Amino acid sequence: MKTRPFGRVIPIRDAIEIVESKIKPIDRREKIPIDLTVDRILARDIKAHFDVPPFNRSAMDGYAVIAEDTFGAGQFDPKVLRIKGSIHAGEVPGVRIDRGECVEVATGARMPKNSDAVVVVENTEGEKDTVKIFEPVHPKENVSNAGGDIKEGEVILKDGELLDPGKIGVLASLGIGEIEVYERPKVGILPTGDEVSAIGMPLEEGKVYDINSHTVSALVRSNGGRANLYEIVGDRFEDARRSIEKALENDIVLLSGGSSVGERDILIDVINEIGEILFHGVQIKPGMPTLFGMIEDKPIFGMPGYPTSCLIDAYVFLLPAVRKMARLPEKKYSKIKAKISKKITSTLGRRQFLTVKVRDGEAIPVFKESSTITSISNSDGFIEIDYSVNLIEKGEEVLVNLWQ
């Protein structure tokens, strides 16, 4: 087979900078029910249009009182107040109390007029028409005041905030059922190669099932994006061109396979004809054939066909791009220190991502080869081996980046 050389193979940091410079956050917005907004990004400021709570309410079961009437109360010298009625949560009180009076209230009940505190039921002894108060309360004690949680006119959520269950609760407290959020970036994923077969089809001799579409789509969806899977692209120029042009309906296009140097890897020619390749070849292991370009202002990633190479590449290059488009913060990997379980050799001049599992303080390499998916599925994370390092001795301390 004839081969073509890569373009200039560039350091990983340069490749990351090139990708980052071409990625812009999504400005498109959509209005959706608040129950669907968890992990979405709010697209406008939210201002409270009323107080929360909207009225003074009892924070405890007990008796609404004028606090001054309880001053001096004690176990052996209780204050006695006349019970003027009762109020349950949800009722509109039609009662006002004066000095020497109280109203029995349930938790969440609206406070009667002229009352300013609640004596908890445990500190009382009720009779038919009166109640004994054994402990004094101060004004506002056991009362949730109107606006005590949220003030009318207050900006409670801001454009760009990540919505979580607590923030969704704030929206619900204001009666907001739908809200504007930024759309998720759409990533079109195209597997390539005549040797690749779709899941659900009989596996013909000499072929392998498409793994990359499903691993990459899972990564996209778990990082704020929408994944659109396309049919497998064969090794024919016009078919590849039509498929790529169709996939430009997305915000990002990812091609798995077809970025290497074999004469049948025609995707390079297609991208060169209808767009521009910004780099092809990165000092990374696995994943050196990584390609990145632009077609009609759309970022195009070309990643190796081998499952481990493709997924590591996706973590390094695609994941940050999707998160930036989705307006999500940069992913921070949890890191732990461990001792490598065996001697590791690495290629000088390439940054290696070595998958490992962690057991009892040891980092155990599980990488077999780029073509195996278990090199990732059996791992807890990865270690990065710098360009300048070609040997890590057994027992040497390493820093493990955990997937989760």
- What is the spatial distance between Cα 73 and Cα 85, in angstroms, rounded to a whole number? 22
The answer to the question of residue 82 being in a domain is yes
pLDDT category of residue 364 using cuts at 50, 70 and 90: very high
92 has a pLDDT exceeding 80:
yes
Identify the CATH number of the domain in which residue 355 sits. Answer: 2.40.340.10
Residue 229 pairs with which residues in a beta bridge?
189
CATH number, domain of 255, equals 3.40.980.10
Do residues 18 and 43 share a domain?
A: no
Domain of 279 in residue numbering reads as 12-27+184-325
- pLDDT tops 60 at residue 366: yes
Question: What pLDDT is stored for residue 6 in this prediction?
Answer: 58
Question: How does residue 93 score in pLDDT terms, banded at 50, 70 and 90?
Answer: confident
Distances (CA, A) of 184 to 30, 108, 259, 386: 9, 39, 27, 34
Judgement on whether residues 294 and 219 belong to the same structural domain of the protein:
yes
Element (H, E) at 354: strand 351-359
Which tens digit of pLDDT belongs to each residue from 118-159?
Answer: 999 999 999 889 999 999 999 999 999 999 999 999 999 999
Q: Are 233 and 190 members of one domain?
A: yes
Do 69 and 156 share a domain, yes or no?
Answer: no
**How far does CA 200 lie from the centroid of its chain?**
31
pLDDT band per the 50, 70, 90 thresholds, residue 261: low
Instruction: Decide which of 325, 342, 368 is a domain's last residue.
Output: 325
Q: Are residues 23 and 33 in the same domain?
A: no
167 and 279 in a single domain? The answer is no
Say yes or no: 356 and 320 in one domain.
Answer: no
Neighbours of 111 (CB within 10 A): 23
Same domain, 64 and 46: no
Residue 121 lies in a domain: yes
* Claim to verify: residue 295 and residue 161 sit in the same structural domain: no
Share of the chain above pLDDT 90, in %: 86
CATH number of the structural domain spanning residue 161: 3.90.105.10
- For the chain, what percent of residues have pLDDT higher than 70? 96
Q: Specify whether 231 is located in the same domain as 315.
A: yes
Does one domain contain both 244 and 341?
Answer: no
Cα–Cα distance, 290 to 276 (Å, whole number): 14
pLDDT bucket at 264, cuts 50 / 70 / 90:
very low
Last residue of a domain, one of 94, 118, 144: 144
- Are 63 and 188 spatial neighbours (Cβ–Cβ below 8 Å)? no
Question: Using an 8 Å Cβ cutoff, are 302 and 255 in contact?
Answer: yes
pLDDT tens digits for 168-191?
999 999 999 999 999 999 999 999
Residue 353 lies in a domain: yes
> What is the number of structural domains in the chain?
4
36 lies in the same domain as 16: no
Within a domain: residue 3? no
Quick one: average pLDDT of 279-290? 94
Instruction: Give a yes or no: residue 2 inside a domain.
Output: no
Give yes or no for residue 260 having a pLDDT over 60: no
